[in-house]
A and B are shown apart, each in its own frame.
Chain A
Amino acid sequence: MSTAMDTESTYSGYSHYSGHSKKAHRQGRDRHKSPRSKDGSRSEKSVTIQTPPAEPLLGNDASRAEEGQDDNWGETTTAITGTSEHSISQEDIARISKDLEDSVGLDCKRYLGLTVAAVLGLLVFLTPIAFILLPQILWRDDLEPCGTVCEGLFISVAFKLLILLIGTWALFFRQPKADIPRVFVFRALLLVLIFLFVFSYWLFYGVRILDSKDTNYQGIVQYAVSLVDALLFIHYLAIVLLELRQLQPMFTVKVVRSTDGESRYYSLGHLSIQRAALVVLENYYKDFTVYNPALLTASKSRAAKHMAGLKVYNVDGPGNNASGQSRAMIAAAARRRDSSHNELYYEEADHERRVKKRRARLVVAVEEAFTHIKRLQAEEQQKAPGEMMDPREAAQAIFPSMARALQKYLRTTRQQQYHSMESILQHLSFCITNNMTPKAFLERYLNPGPTLQYDRDRWFSKQWTLVSEEAVTSGLQDGIVFVLKCLDFSLVVNVKKIPFIKLSEEFIDPKSHKFVLRLQSETSV
């Protein structure tokens, strides 16, 4: 058994994803939610922003270095040396420090936004009640008596407030899914609108009613009812702006992973760039196969061999023509008759054959192993109590017969670090419990699955950075390109508008389908 199979891995469940609804653009509106959950175990992706307006998106770093503008390259370049097993590499340190500082900074921002929105919400909710109660408290004796009409209005205010409360809870009280760099424009606008609205109502109330001690109580109550009606309409506006407007698909985005070219297409509505990035990332975890650095080494070594062995000697003088040298090298490498394409072809064919052979052995071994297990029915369970096993023990009993074949297959397809022995045993007992066939058990190992399927330690992609030329709160438009970078790879996103479709109709009478025979006879005379 290799060490990879012996290590224990904690199978941290991703089941809290299933609790969310499947709307295409859930937002992490956390501002109204007062009880904050601990973010230690949550799967938050923190997206930080880098908007360098002066730089092009794919910066021409090479040309700048050649022009000699970067004079400090000697001090700022770091040499990456090989690391031993017991030290932490430079990348890990960068990752850890980034984790620390990002989590602290963004939490403050989130708390601030949350408290502002909570206070505003509470104020807004209590305002109509205050409008109705204040005259009763302050100048009760002067008020005109207002019988049935007012009581009817009280009931309507109560129910409308209840509806508003339920609606606000349904729309805004949701678990935060993500941290985004900039404020949501529409949300901020709505908060400002609500604030101005309530402020102007209070102003009018304070000046005209409190100061002058208006005695027409029915008018005051109707004023409070109008406030609640207007709040309901603002709630409707919030639904339309925040939820409905993005439902209709307007853009198709193409997402390409930079390391291996795997690409997918998604449909989006009118979203801001940061929200589109969120949607893309959410879909990335379930659609793209997991990033496996072991699969990339082959192409890198081929590329290295291609350019190796070419040296440039400058015989004309001490002039240092760097671009000319590199061009000469490229031309020479292209003209060189190497047989690397041949090697690639035979290597790939050989690898495929090996994988198929190992796969066949694995399938046979697993099928044989599964035949040793039989599920006991309820009646049989009383008859043979001595030999009964629970799923875990059954899994452990049949695991050794398939372990070797499985390990060899995983090694050949370079997936061995994604599956530890403990995870395989757990999956096996899970399959046995749910009456799955050997093929269903193997589906997890035969092909690399999406990132969500694997242990979180193996993801290589938890912190994302959005790199964009446009402001990230601006809306999507045709032709926008932005990049979602994580430490090891990046996703290049290309936005295209769905074309305007001209659909016309043509009516065909069912009786108009008529046919003739095409003849070509030959007659002898």
Chain B
Amino acid sequence: SYFIFLSFQQRIEIHKLRQGDNLILGFSIGGGIDQDPTQNPFSEDKTDKGIYVTRVTEGGPAEVAGLQIGDKIMQVNGWDMTMVTHDQARKRLTKRNEEVVRLLVTRQSLQKAVQQSMMS
């Protein structure tokens, strides 16, 4: 058996937490079309200028909802996030009148191939 990379798309629903005057989601993003894609440690393709999750705070709403570090955010509430600047991405995630954000993320995971079961 051997390891292969598989990409999963997942829908994650995060309920924002109110901290004082702000609504926080509990993770950090990196990337954007105005950023340097070669410094992104999570992307497989170093020309990928998409938005990636670089940190997830423990016990925060994102972790509770199942968001993981290294996820690439494809959509936020229907808005495309693959071709946005870093600031545009931040704005779309931190809209004041939204309490729930629905993300479409792509995650890469290492899977053991199901080779033996197919051969047997």
Interface residues of A, Cβ cutoff 8 Å to B: 518-525
User: Per DSSP, are chain B's interface residues mostly helix, strand or loop, or mixed?
Assistant: mixed
B24 partner, pick from A519, A521, A525, beta carbons under 8 A: A525
Closest Cβ neighbor of A517 among chain B residues: B36
Chain B residue contacts of A518, Cβ below 8 A: 36, 39
Rounded to whole angstroms, the CA-CA distance of A521 and B30 in the bound complex is 6
The answer to whether B90 touches A520, judged by C-beta atoms less than 8 angstroms apart, is no
* Chain B nearest Cβ from A517, distance in angstroms: 9
The answer to whether A525 touches B35, judged by C-beta atoms less than 8 angstroms apart, is no
The answer to whether A522 touches B55, judged by C-beta atoms less than 8 angstroms apart, is yes
Rounded to whole angstroms, the CA-CA distance of A234 and B106 in the bound complex is 89
Chain A residue contacts of B27, Cβ below 8 A: 524-525
Chain A residue contacts of B90, Cβ below 8 A: 523, 525
B30-58 toward A: CB 8 Å interface, digit per residue (1/0)?
A: 10001110011000000000000011010
The answer to whether B25 touches A521, judged by C-beta atoms less than 8 angstroms apart, is no
Chain B residue contacts of A521, Cβ below 8 A: 30, 35, 86
Q: Which of chain B's residues 46-98 have a Cβ closer than 8 Å to chain A?
A: 54-55, 57, 86, 90, 93-94
Rounded to whole angstroms, the CA-CA distance of A519 and B35 in the bound complex is 5
A525 partner, pick from B29, B36, B39, beta carbons under 8 A: B29
Chain A residue contacts of B9, Cβ below 8 A: none
Known A-B contacts A525-B90, A525-B93, A525-B94; A520 and B28 likewise in contact (beta carbons under 8 Å): no
Closest Cβ neighbor of A519 among chain B residues: B35
Given A519-B36, A525-B25, A525-B93; 11 other pairs, CB 8 A cutoff:
A518-B36, A519-B86, A520-B39, A521-B30, A522-B28, A522-B30, A523-B29, A524-B24, A525-B27, A525-B29, A525-B90
Rounded to whole angstroms, the CA-CA distance of A523 and B57 in the bound complex is 13
**CB<8 Å pairs between A and B, sample of 19:** A518-B39, A520-B30, A520-B35, A520-B36, A520-B39, A520-B40, A521-B30, A521-B86, A522-B28, A523-B29, A523-B86, A523-B90, A524-B24, A524-B27, A524-B55, A524-B57, A525-B27, A525-B28, A525-B90
Chain A residue contacts of B57, Cβ below 8 A: 524
B81-120 toward A: CB 8 Å interface, digit per residue (1/0)?
A: 0000010001001100000000000000000000000000
Chain B residue contacts of A522, Cβ below 8 A: 28-30, 54-55
User: Per DSSP, are chain A's interface residues mostly helix, strand or loop, or mixed?
Assistant: loop
Closest Cβ neighbor of B41 among chain A residues: A520
The answer to whether A524 touches B28, judged by C-beta atoms less than 8 angstroms apart, is yes
A523 partner, pick from B28, B34, B40, beta carbons under 8 A: B28
Closest Cβ neighbor of A523 among chain B residues: B90
Chain B residue contacts of A523, Cβ below 8 A: 28-30, 86, 90
Chain B residue contacts of A520, Cβ below 8 A: 30, 35-36, 39-40
Rounded to whole angstroms, the CA-CA distance of A519 and B55 in the bound complex is 18
* Chain A nearest Cβ from B23, distance in angstroms: 9
The answer to whether A519 touches B34, judged by C-beta atoms less than 8 angstroms apart, is yes
* Chain A nearest Cβ from B94, distance in angstroms: 5
Rounded to whole angstroms, the CA-CA distance of A520 and B54 in the bound complex is 11
Closest Cβ neighbor of B28 among chain A residues: A524
Rounded to whole angstroms, the CA-CA distance of A524 and B57 in the bound complex is 10
Rounded to whole angstroms, the CA-CA distance of A110 and B52 in the bound complex is 91
Rounded to whole angstroms, the CA-CA distance of A520 and B94 in the bound complex is 20
Rounded to whole angstroms, the CA-CA distance of A523 and B28 in the bound complex is 5
Rounded to whole angstroms, the CA-CA distance of A523 and B54 in the bound complex is 9
Chain A residue contacts of B28, Cβ below 8 A: 522-525
* Chain B nearest Cβ from A311, distance in angstroms: 61
* Chain A nearest Cβ from B15, distance in angstroms: 14
The 8 closest A-B pairs by CB, nearest first: A518-B36, A520-B39, A524-B28, A525-B93, A522-B30, A525-B25, A523-B90, A519-B35
* Chain A nearest Cβ from B35, distance in angstroms: 5
Chain A residue contacts of B86, Cβ below 8 A: 519, 521, 523
Closest Cβ neighbor of B36 among chain A residues: A518
Closest Cβ neighbor of B87 among chain A residues: A523
Rounded to whole angstroms, the CA-CA distance of A525 and B93 in the bound complex is 7
Rounded to whole angstroms, the CA-CA distance of A520 and B35 in the bound complex is 5
* Chain B nearest Cβ from A520, distance in angstroms: 4
